[in-house]
Amino acid sequence: MLAERIGRIQESGTMKMKALASQLKKEGKKVISFTVGEPDFQTPKHIVDACIDALNAGMTKYIDAPGLPELREAIAEKSKNENNIQCEAANVFVAPTKHALFESVFATVNPGDEVLIPDPAWVSYVPFVSMADGKAVPVPLLEEASFRMTPEQVAEKITPKSKVIMMNSPSNPCGSVNTEADIKGIADLAKDHDLIVITDEVYEKIIFDGMKHLSIASLPGMFERTITINGFSKTYSMTGWRLGWLVADKPYLKGISKIQQHTITHAPTFIQKAGVAALKGPQEPVNKMIDEFKKRRDIVYKYIQETSGASAPQPKGAFYAFMKFDADMTDEEMAMYLMKDAEVVVTPGDSFGAAGKKHVRISFATATSDVEKGMAGIKAALEKL
Ligand SMILES: Cc1ncc(COP(=O)(O)O)c(C=O)c1O
């Protein structure tokens, strides 16, 4: 009864584990969830107020698909000032982040086109490519390169059928951050082989140890071949608002706009006013959240280093550690063992791609006290094996 393409799409591994954690909590079990990539902070009040004001002002009607002009303007300003992307409001398209990524893939990938995807990667890239009848080509990220996506690894996977390179730095699930040299090398490959880059920069602000985020679209000759995706969920703790954007050259926007006109029309009007408040309002709440994530990163990394039978590169960005385990178990068996023994729910590493095997992802976007307790539990459980 269902279309053949549905058979090619896996259920989201992160959602499965999140559902399991919720179920256990409902049963009264005191599990600590290290599963979902959702900041535990409240959305800053000035952002909430801007949305309420917009509702009271009657901003409840249709607008044009690309978004509220005021928000597009604010995003273009941010992209120019912070990311050095030479764009204007007409290059900005507002959509929930996940949908912006889907639309970007759908608008650029023909059946059979190869799309290079980091492995491990966030769970939705491969399904996007499958839905567009493209071929996802994993680019294994190496532990010895701290899971960065290096030009050498990308170059190995380029063929005459390659069309798109997908990038994600800081990375979910690895917490890695590409260096300037990595990004420049990938840009050169994209230019040499006439490839499009779709770069998912949702964690750009959550970055540690003085590392700097570099947008590939800011490099010479890259704007015209790059779709830059970003959003409000992670930076402003706005996951439930479903608001994000993309910045791209106008021919891409034409295609993407057609998809949006025939799918979601536009992101909710009053929510877009909250987006303006987020970008133009005080940034202290963001800085506070980042400081807190850094503290938690330090706790998680300290425990991993102290645990025999476990290892991980130090996370440099986002709020994830990708922890390797030595025990003779599958990733799912390990996740189940940690749930039973340590009452901690993690995500099996192979949910993020074959190169994720023998790992679990630990999301530290949860209360600092739980991070400490959960990591102590994981250490004790692993050392029993
Ligand atoms: C790498 C990455 N990209 C995109 C998204 C989707 O963001 P949103 O929930 O705002 O659509 C996520 C969410 O977890 C993510 O981790």
Assign 3-class secondary structure to 40-75.
CCCCCHHHHHHHHHHHHCCCCCCCCCCCCHHHHHHH
Q: How confident is the model at residue 274 (pLDDT cuts 50, 70, 90)?
A: very high
**What type of residue is 117?**
I
Write the pLDDT tens digit of every residue in 55-104.
999 999 999 999 999 999 999 999 999 999 999 999 999 999 999 999 99
Cβ-defined contacts of 327-336 (< 8 Å, 24+)? 327/382, 327/385, 331/356, 331/357, 331/358, 331/359, 331/360, 334/360, 335/17, 335/360
Tell me the pLDDT band of 286, cut-offs 50, 70 and 90: very high
* Cα–Cα distance for residue pair 285/235, rounded to 1 Å: 9
Judging by DSSP bridges, how do beta strands 359-363 and 347-348 pair with one another? antiparallel
State which of 101, 102, 122, 171 you would mutate to test the pocket of ligand 1, scoring each by most atoms of that ligand within 8 A of its C-beta. 122
Residues with CB under 6 A from ligand 1: 37, 96-98, 122, 168, 172, 200, 202, 231, 233, 239, 244
Cis-peptide into 173, omega within 30 deg: yes
**215 bridge partner residues:** none
Residue 155 clears pLDDT 80, i.e. is over it: yes
pLDDT for residue 11 is more than 90: no
CA of 98 to the centre of ligand 1 (A): 6
DSSP string across 282-302? --HHHHHHHHHHHHHHHHHHH
Domain ranges across the chain: 4-43+284-383, 59-280
What is the C-alpha to C-alpha distance for residues 275 and 296, in angstroms, rounded to an integer? 27
CA distances to 3, 111, 172, 203, 302 from 286, rounded to whole Å, are 43, 41, 19, 12, 24
User: What CATH number should be reported for the domain whose range is 59-280?
Assistant: 3.40.640.10
Report the nearest atom of ligand 1 relative to the CA of 99.
11
359 CA to centre of ligand 1 in angstroms: 21
> What pLDDT, on a 0 to 100 scale, did the predictor assign at position 209?
96
Q: Is 168 helix (H, G, I), strand (E, B) or coil?
A: strand
Q: Does the pLDDT at position 12 exceed 80?
A: no
Q: Is the dihedral of CA 261, 262, 268, 274 positive or negative?
A: negative
Q: Specify the ligand 1 atom closest to the Cα of 244.
A: 10
What is the residue with the minimal CA distance to atom 9 of ligand 1? 239
For every residue of 184-246, DSSP letters joined together read HHHHHHHHHTT-EEEEE-TTTT-B-TT-----GGGSTTTGGGEEEEEESTTTTT-GGG--EEE
Kindly list the distances between the CA atom of residue 225 and the CA atoms of 55, 164, 247, 314, in Å, as whole numbers in the listed order. 38, 10, 11, 32
Question: What sign for the dihedral angle of Cα 279, 284, 287, 289?
Answer: negative
Superfamily (CATH H level) for 4-43+284-383: Aspartate Aminotransferase, domain 1 (3.90.1150.10)
Mutate to test the pocket of ligand 1, among 98, 198, 246, 351 (most ligand atoms within 8 A of CB): 98
Mean pLDDT of 239-252: 98
Task: Round the average pLDDT of the chain to a whole number and report it.
Answer: 96
- The alpha carbon of 381 is separated from its chain's Cα centroid by a whole number of angstroms, namely 29
Q: Whose CA is nearest to atom 5 of ligand 1?
A: 98
pLDDT at position 219: 98
N residues, the chain: 385
Q: Which amino acid is at 308?
A: S
Helix axes 284-306, 368-383, angle to 10 degrees: 10
Q: Which atom of ligand 1 is nearest to the CA of 318?
A: 16
Determine how β-strand 320-325 pairs with β-strand 310-311.
Answer: antiparallel
CA-wise closest residue to 111 among 131, 138, 125: 131
Per-residue pLDDT averaged across 244-260, rounded? 97
